[in-house]
Amino acid sequence: MEVVIVADRQAAGELVGQAIADLLRRRPEAVLGLATGSTPLPVYADLARRCAAGEVTFAEARAFLLDEYVGLPADHPEAYRAFIARELEAHVDFPSGAVQGPDVRPTGADLLASCDDYEDAIRLAGGVDLQLLGIGTDGHIGFNEPGSSLASRTRLKTLTDQTRQDNARFFRSLDEVPRHVVTQGIGTILQARHLVLLAFGGEKAAAVARAVEGPVAAMVPASALQLHPHATVVVDEPAAGKFRQADYYRETFAHKPGWQGL
Ligand code: GLP
């Protein structure tokens, strides 16, 4: 795993935006894995800027969302499909239909079938080339809460109180935050060819340190990144506050050969 400590969110956005632009230049038909929440926003802003400047095009690219709330109207501004449409698609040149999220409208057995269909769609697209990830303060990735199987696939999950409280800032009240979600599983996420996890702010420091330097454990879903051959963790200084090996990460990145990329 590579850990990169950057000065601030904007520097993280530029670094990861550059990696995505490089990928799309190498492979215009690349498949991106998109995360929501506040963390990936600097990356999306950087990609919008690069697209406007003609540095990158998404004309042949495709993308899959990590997760989605269950029970929100599809046009609810906090539905993740609406979030990605607003924060990324509106500012870059994805063709229509190129960005997909899990269909969470069915209920019962049909919802389970819809989760399987989502897995199939990702597989049929050739798998995800670069998966963006944030991290919850409880160590979750996507909406895989602590205790999620490290082999899990796309499925229905129940949010912890901690996650509902963390996400309540996006809603009018805690009661409005859905209890249920559909998320790609940890096993699904691990099949992406490159994982890029971002974390900003001191409130993420403990979770990211456990994920990177603690034991691999279902109770810390993000620790599954340790099992991946190409995982990059990009943090700002406050989020790096609890690393034991921070100096080593800094020195490694400072002396990295330029040709290596992320
Ligand atoms: C949400 C999302 C995650 C995200 C995390 C952190 O619940 N499902 O994909 O990484 O929580 O959110 P934020 O980036 O706003 O801190």
Pocket test for ligand 1, best of 9, 34, 36, 177 (most atoms within 8 A of CB): 36
Average pLDDT over residues 85-104: 97
Ligand 1-lining residues (CB < 6 angstroms): 35-39, 66-67, 134-136, 142-143, 163, 167
Residue range 62-89, pLDDT digits in tens: 999 999 999 998 789 999 999 999 999 9
Neighbours of 212 (CB within 10 A): 25
User: 189 CA to middle of ligand 1, Å?
Assistant: 15
* Residue 32 to residue 99: CA distance in whole angstroms: 9
Domain 2-254 carries which CATH code? 3.40.50.1360
Q: Which atom of ligand 1 is nearest to the CA of 201?
A: 16
Q: Reply yes or no on whether the pLDDT at 140 is more than 90.
A: yes
Q: What is the rounded average pLDDT for all residues in the chain?
A: 97
* Residue 173 to residue 171: CA distance in whole angstroms: 5
Confidence category of residue 200, pLDDT binned at 50, 70, 90: very high
* Residue 210 to residue 29: CA distance in whole angstroms: 35
Q: Compute CA 154 distance to the chain's CA centroid, rounded to the nearest angstrom.
A: 14
Q: Which atom of ligand 1 is nearest to the CA of 40?
A: 14
CA angle 72, 75, 78 (to 5 degrees): 60
Residue range 159-199, pLDDT digits in tens: 999 999 999 999 999 999 999 999 999 999 999 999 999 99
Tokens 């993740």 identify what position?
A: 80
Confidence category of residue 262, pLDDT binned at 50, 70, 90: very high
User: 257 CA to middle of ligand 1, Å?
Assistant: 32
Indicate whether this model's pTM tops 0.95: yes
* Residue 112 to residue 98: CA distance in whole angstroms: 23
E strand or H helix that includes residue 194: strand 194-199
Q: Side-chain half-sphere of 33: how many Cα atoms within 13 Å?
A: 31
Q: Which atom of ligand 1 is nearest to the CA of 142?
A: 9
**Extents of the domains making up the chain:** 2-254
User: 127 CA to middle of ligand 1, Å?
Assistant: 22
Tokens 């969302």 identify what position?
A: 65
Confidence category of residue 16, pLDDT binned at 50, 70, 90: very high
- The single-letter code of the amino acid at 162 is Q
**Residues assigned a catalytic role:** 67, 138, 140, 145
User: 197 CA to middle of ligand 1, Å?
Assistant: 11
